[in-house]
Amino acid sequence: MQPSNKLVVEAAYASWAARDLDTTLSCFSEDVAFAIHLPPEVAPYFGVQQGRDEFGLRLKLILDDFDFLAYKPIQITSHGISFHSQVRFHYRHKLTGLEYEGTMRHVWRVKGDRIVRWEEFHDIERVRVYFRLLAQASAVMHSGLSPLRGSDAADLKS
């Protein structure tokens, strides 16, 4: 492992945790291939794309929608120019206040001093349920109805 490669990954993590989009993007190559391995119909930032500009648009959507309560890499391992990592995160949706926490996995490829490939992996069903809850909470907020509490919430099971 080249020490500078790991520093690029660590810099990307640190700048993202600090919500510094410009510095985060500077760690990636212009033609970075990236994927958040979740169905794009669940949320607009998911799917497979190419290019730093498109990556920046996706990351900005996440920054616009969520506060970061915690974001910390807990493991980074190297395999030549590839890195595998695990991150503990805790996000809060700005509009609804609903929180989501857990771990995610990343696979990185670094060439030179830039990240050229980045992939993110989540528990797909857990993410689907969370985004379904976000949609329900948003609908309730926009309808003017009272949020469901206690036993009323059990009626939402489908």
pLDDT digits (tens, 9 = 90+) for 124-142: 999 999 999 999 998 888 7
Residue 81's SS3 state is coil
| Contact call for residues 87 and 104 (beta carbons, < 8 A) | yes
Q: Tokens for 97?
A: 């206040």
Total-model pTM: 0.83
For the cut 60, the answer to whether the pLDDT of residue 15 exceeds it is yes
The pLDDT of residue 89:
96
Question: Quick one: pLDDT band at residue 109, thresholds 50, 70, 90?
Answer: very high
The pLDDT of residue 63:
97
What are the helix (H) ranges across the chain? 3-17, 21-26, 52-65, 124-143, 151-154
**Mean pLDDT for the chain overall:** 89
The pLDDT of residue 82:
92
Q: What's the whole-number mean pLDDT along residues 62-83?
A: 93
For the cut 90, the answer to whether the pLDDT of residue 39 exceeds it is no
For the cut 80, the answer to whether the pLDDT of residue 49 exceeds it is yes
pLDDT digits (tens, 9 = 90+) for 90-99: 999 999 999 9
- The total of other beta-carbon atoms located within 10 Å of residue 28's CB is 24
The pLDDT of residue 157:
45
Residue 31's SS3 state is strand
Query: Looking at domain 3-146, which CATH architecture does it have?
Result: Roll (3.10)
Question: Quick one: pLDDT band at residue 123, thresholds 50, 70, 90?
Answer: very high
